[in-house]
C-alpha cells in the first residue's frame, strides 16, 4: 500500500508556517487548499486567522473541494474574511486523483452565482457559463445539474 498524500487534519499553525515561508520565497499568491473537501467554515476560518498573522490576506487564495457540499460555504466564509481569489472549475470538473474519496472542484457557476449575489462584479456572463457547463456535461455523458 502506498502512503496517503495527506495526514488528516492539519494544525492551522502548520499551514501558517508553510504559507509564511512561501511568502518569504517570493510567492505572490498562496492558494490554501482543502484537498479532500472536509473543511467547514469554522475550520477554514481558524486556518485563515492563523495564516493572516504572518501573510497579508491579499496574498491568499482559496481552493476548496466539494466532497461534502461545503465548498460554497467555505468560499463565503473566506470572502467575508477578505479573500478575493478562488479556484474553481466549470461544472465542478476535475478533482484530486491522489486523494481517494475526494470529489470534484467547486463549480465556477456556483462561485459566480454566490459572488454576484454578494454584489461583486465578476465580469463573467453567468448565462453563458451555465451554457458551457451544460455543454461539457453532455460531452462527458453526465446529466446537467
Residue 108: CATH number of its domain: 3.20.20.70
In a domain, 145, yes or no: no
Q: Of 72, 48, 50, 71, which Cα lies nearest the Cα of 60?
A: 48
- Helix H, strand E, coil C: the string for 55-81 is CCHHHEEEEEECCCCCHHHHHHHHHHH
| Residue corresponding to grid cell 502512503 | 3
Spatial neighbors of 127 by CB under 8 A, at least 6 apart, are: none
In a domain, 89, yes or no: yes
In a domain, 2, yes or no: no
Domain that holds residue 42: 12-140
Q: What is the pLDDT of residues 76-96, one digit of tens each?
A: 999 999 999 999 999 998 876
Q: What is the pLDDT of residues 39-70, one digit of tens each?
A: 999 999 999 999 999 999 999 999 998 888 99
How long a stretch of residues is the chain? 145
The residues that are catalytic are 96
Number of domains in the chain: 1
Amino acid at each position: 500500500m502506498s502512503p496517503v498524500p495527506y495526514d488528516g487534519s492539519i494544525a492551522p499553525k502548520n499551514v501558517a508556517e508553510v504559507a509564511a515561508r512561501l511568502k518569504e520565497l517570493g510567492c505572490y499568491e498562496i492558494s490554501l487548499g482543502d484537498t479532500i473537501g472536509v473543511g467547514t467554515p469554522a475550520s477554514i476560518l481558524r486556518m485563515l486567522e492563523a495564516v493572516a498573522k504572518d501573510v497579508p490576506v491579499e496574498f491568499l487564495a482559496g481552493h476548496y473541494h466539494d466532497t461534502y457540499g461545503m465548498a460554497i460555504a467555505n468560499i463565503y466564509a473566506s470572502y467575508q474574511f477578505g479573500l478575493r481569489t478562488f479556484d474553481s472549475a466549470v461544472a465542478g470538473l476535475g478533482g484530486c486523483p491522489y486523494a481517494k474519496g475526494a470529489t470534484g472542484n467547486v463549480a465556477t457557476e456556483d462561485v459566480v452565482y454566490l459572488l454576484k449575489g454578494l454584489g461583486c462584479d465578476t465580469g463573467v456572463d453567468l448565462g453563458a457559463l451555465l451554457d458551457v457547463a451544460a455543454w461539457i456535461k453532455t460531452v462527458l455523458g453526465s446529466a446537467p445539474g
